[in-house]
Amino acid sequence: MTTTTAELDTLATAAAAAAPIWRGADAATRASWLRAAADALDAHIDELVAIADEETRLGETRLRGEVGRTTGQLRLFATVVEEGSYFELTVDDADPSATPPRPELRRMLTGVGPVAVFSASNFPFAFSVAGGDTASALAAGNPVIVKAHSGHPLLSERTAAIVAEALAAAGAPEGSLALVEGREAGNALVQHPVIQAAGFTGSLSGGRALFDLASGRPDPIPFYGELGSVNPVVITPAAIAARGEALAQGLVASFTLGVGQFCTKPGVVFVPAGAGFEELVAGFATGAAGGPLLTDRITAAFPAGIEHLEADPSVSVVAQGLPAEAGAAQPVVLSTDAAAVAARPETLLEECFGPVTLLVRYSSDDELLTALRAVPGSLTGTLHSEPDDEVADVLAVLERKAGRVLFAGWPTGVAVTWSQHHGGPWPATTSLHTSVGATAIRRFLRPVTFQDAPEALLPDVLRDASLATLPHRRNGALRVP
């Protein structure tokens, strides 16, 4: 099914009409709409999980957990709306004695208007119709039009219907949430004059194409894309000596989680040469199971990606997991050396979506740093070291390369919290913002300042009575009720 241009225009018109209602809704009202959507999804979990498992083959346990994550995101953003600091309310009182004289200025963030959201294949709930992009855009006070992912169309349609009905029943306006389907409709959506921002999770090629469309509009809009990431890991000799077996087991569990289809999969792991880590990883990897991948396109791309890496003369196979059924992916561990990575990063550091990781041997700190600097921007960077290790230079590179730096555990698994950051330098994302956690709301807000405005014409949150109950900054001083 493909949404026609006429149908898109109808949906966009409804979203445009709903935008000022969402933007003007008070905190209690907007929060109640978000919680109504969460409650409806929880009430339909059995039905939704059954549809999702049929379309994605991710399994009931994983999918039930993902519904919980999705409804948890909606409820988190309800609390964000109620807490109020996302407005970034700022007041400078008038000062006629200043040079030059200062007018009264009151600043806030407000919703940008209707937002386009592009669903991801690998998280059919949490990064899809009612996922984090949608939750944060609604929380910011914006209607949403979602482009369904072709990998789970029936789930997308049913999820959209449930959420739209729940929002309407809670009193939200018509046009609060809509769904479009088809590649052409997605291209038209990001170019539609009603749309004021877009969120995307998917491939580098697909995201770059949409990014260019958004930037090439007569009125360019921000495009917040999460596109690709190899998520480098650095392991020191001391860490392997102290806990090599546990690290090897953790790596295998992480790169095979969800059949290697997590955007935070550790794809490139720098390990000291001669430390025996390859053998430790092989011991666990040979017993690791693969499985079917999400879509036919991903299934076809995985062996091609492996072949691309293996074609480099420096690359060898360390281990393979348990044999997979026809059409499924078998886990693979590959290895190379730091000199090859530094010389051919465009080949060896290309993301391969699926259960594969590349071990990169280094023989010195200089060799490690040279190769690590060649790593493209990533969502995460992980450092496994011991207290006496000198790792300041490595950490400095990881901080520049990644949006989240880990010192324990593995990057798969992204907690939805106030302080989470799920983003990173290009090509991980097209911006500096996060798509997970409370501050994801910032993507779909814009600042506006009112100068010498009469009290009666100010937005309610900028009036003194409201400021007394909300976090704000006045004349440079932070005030928290």
Domain contains 413: no
**Predicted confidence (pLDDT) at residue 63 exceeds the cutoff of 90:** yes
Domain identity same for 56 and 203? yes
Rounded to whole angstroms, the Cα distance separating 320 from 259 reads 13
The reported pLDDT for the residue numbered 136 is 98
Q: Three-state SS for 478?
A: strand
Say if pTM beats, i.e. exceeds, 0.85.
yes
Residue 1: per-residue pLDDT: 80
Residues 469 and 376 in one domain: no
Q: How far apart are the C-alpha atoms of 285 and 276, rounded to whole Å?
A: 15
What's the CATH code of the domain at 395? 3.40.309.10
Q: Assess if residue 223 is contained within a domain.
A: yes
Domain shared by 162 and 277, yes or no: no
Q: How many domains does the structure of the chain reveal?
A: 2
pLDDT greater than 90 at residue 281 = yes
Per-residue pLDDT reduced to its tens digit, 348-358: 999 999 999 99
Same domain, 194 and 250: no
CB neighbours (10 Å) of residue 400? Answer: 14
Confidence (pLDDT) at 238 = 98
Tell whether 263 and 402 lie within a shared domain.
Answer: yes
Within-domain flag for 314: yes
Confidence of residue 325 (pLDDT cuts 50, 70, 90): confident
Asked whether residue 411 is domain-assigned, the answer is no
pLDDT of residue 6: 98
In terms of domains, do 171 and 208 share one?
Answer: yes
Looking at 116-269, list the stretches that DSSP marks H as alpha helix, in order from N- to C-terminal side. 132-139, 153-169, 183-191, 204-215, 237-256
* Cα–Cα distance, 154 to 314 (Å, whole number): 44
What was the pLDDT predicted at 351?
Answer: 94
Number of residues that make up the chain: 481
Q: Mark residue 327 as left, alpha or beta (left: phi above 0; alpha: psi -120 to 50; beta: remaining).
A: left
Q: Does the pLDDT at position 327 exceed 90?
A: no
3-state secondary structure of 350: coil
Catalytic residue among 263, 278, 352, 367: 263
Q: Are residues 163 and 237 part of one domain?
A: no
Q: Are residues 237 and 206 in the same domain?
A: no
pLDDT of residue 341: 98
Overall average pLDDT of the 112-140 stretch = 97
The answer to whether the beta carbons of residues 320 and 282 sit under 8 Å apart is: no
CA atoms within 13 A on the CB side of 76: 25
- Cα 43 from Cα 23, distance rounded (Å): 28
pLDDT exceeds 90 at position 125: yes
Active-site annotation holds for 352: no
The confidence score (pLDDT) of residue 324 equals: 84
Is residue 399 part of the annotated active site? The answer reads no
From the list 55, 66, 226, 367, the catalytic residue is: 226
Q: Give the tens place of pLDDT for each residue, 154-169.
A: 999 999 999 999 999 9
Q: Are residues 45 and 76 in the same domain?
A: yes
Report percent pLDDT > 70 for the chain.
Answer: 100
What pLDDT score was predicted for residue 41? Answer: 98
Would residue 415 count as lying in a domain?
no
Same structural domain, 100 and 129: yes
Residue at 104 is within a domain = yes
Regarding whether 310 and 200 lie in a shared domain, the answer is no
- Where residue 134 falls among pLDDT bands split at 50, 70, 90? very high
Secondary element (H or E) of residue 90: strand 90-92
Residues 6+ apart with CB under 8 A from 37: 74, 130, 138, 163, 166, 167, 170
468 lies in some domain: yes
H or E element, residue 382 = strand 378-384
Region 355-372: what's the mean pLDDT?
98
Tell me the longest C-alpha to C-alpha distance in the chain: 79
Q: What is the C-alpha to C-alpha distance for residues 113 and 23, in angstroms, rounded to an integer? A: 8
Q: What is the CATH number of the domain that holds 125?
A: 3.40.605.10
Domain membership of residue 62 (yes or no) is: yes
- For residue 27, what are the domain limits? 5-227+430-479
Predicted local distance difference test score (pLDDT) of residue 326 = 82
pLDDT (tens digit, 9 = 90+) per residue, 4-57? 999 999 999 999 999 999 999 999 999 999 999 999 999 999 999 999 999 998
Percent of the chain at pLDDT exceeding 90: 97
Q: State the CB neighbour count (10 A cutoff) for residue 451.
A: 11
Instruction: Tell me the three-class secondary structure of 12-32, residue by residue.
Output: HHHHHHHHHHHHHCCHHHHHH
Going from the C-alpha of 401 to that of each of 112, 265, 268, 336, the distances in angstroms are 30, 15, 13, 21
For residue 203, the model assigns a pLDDT of 92
Shared-domain flag, residues 69 and 52: yes
Q: What is the pLDDT of residue 379?
A: 98
Q: Average per-residue pLDDT in the chain?
A: 97
